[in-house]
Amino acid sequence: MLLAARVGYAARGVVYVSVGLLALRAASGVGDDPKGMLGALEPLATAPLGKVWLVLIAAGLGCFALCRSIQAVFDPDHEGSSAKGLVKRGGQGISALVYAGLSFSLLELLDELGELDEADERKADTQATFLLGLPFGSLLLMGLGAALIACGVLNVMHGMSGRLQSGLDCSPRLRRLAKPLGRSGYIARGAAFGLMGVFIIRAGLSRNPDETRGMGATLDALTHQPGGAPMLALIAAGLIAFGIFGLMEARFREFREPS
């Protein structure tokens, strides 16, 4: 589990750094629109050995999903069975599903690398269409949006807690560096999740799957609001910080083996 966890955290860190860098370029007016998690990896596809890099990241995201599954089921972090512990373990289980899906999606698109750019929005639209086709689909979609908003709030609260660096086995200097990275990163990710949740609720209310937004389109929507570019720049910088913090976790986090 230890190796899988470190590889997984590193892969997640690379993805968020990529998303943040492209969003920051868009906010500064020198790049294209912001991209989601799949679209942000498209530049890697055109690099030397691009498919190799993407396979490694997909494998890493699969490792992260495995790590989250173990945390949710076997509770090596000793979260317990209290309401708070079950909520956290439930979040870890949802995270496992999300990153497993992301890993499989990336592997499926290896032969269609030119479509990575639009993959996030197609995926969001397909999922919304599926849910709306179910009984009480509108309520299900709005519930998903509410859950995403709640996840965003929890990320913001986690970032504001200021205890993020306590699990890192590194020097005091690196811990001091990790604290602002983790805090700004979780707050920025929470803001992005919350905005995505708002769009999903709107899609449920209108029963229009086109109202849904992946992360890239959600960040792009900020640029069309008053003061949107500075807001996008702040969130982009926070996502980069989250990715760097994830890379630090991959190297220095203390992982407990499940009993």
More confident call, 8 vs 107:
8
Tokens of 125: 């639209």
Neighbours of 145 (CB within 10 A): 23
- Could you identify the residue written with the tokens 């860190």? 13
In this predicted structure, which of 74-83, 200-209, 232-241 has the lowest mean pLDDT? 74-83
Domain ranges of the chain: 2-252
pLDDT for position 242? 97
Residue 222 pLDDT: 86
Does the structure show a pLDDT above 70 at 259?
A: no
Q: In 3D, which of 67, 117, 72 has the Cα closest to residue 249? A: 67
Average pLDDT (44-66) is 87
- For 154-164, the pLDDT digits (tens) are 999 989 987 77
pLDDT at 38: 85
Q: What's the token pair of residue 113? A: 């690398």
CA distance 156 to 238: 12
Of residues 109 and 214, which shows the higher confidence score?
214
Closest by CA to 103, choosing from 135, 69, 132, 71, is 69
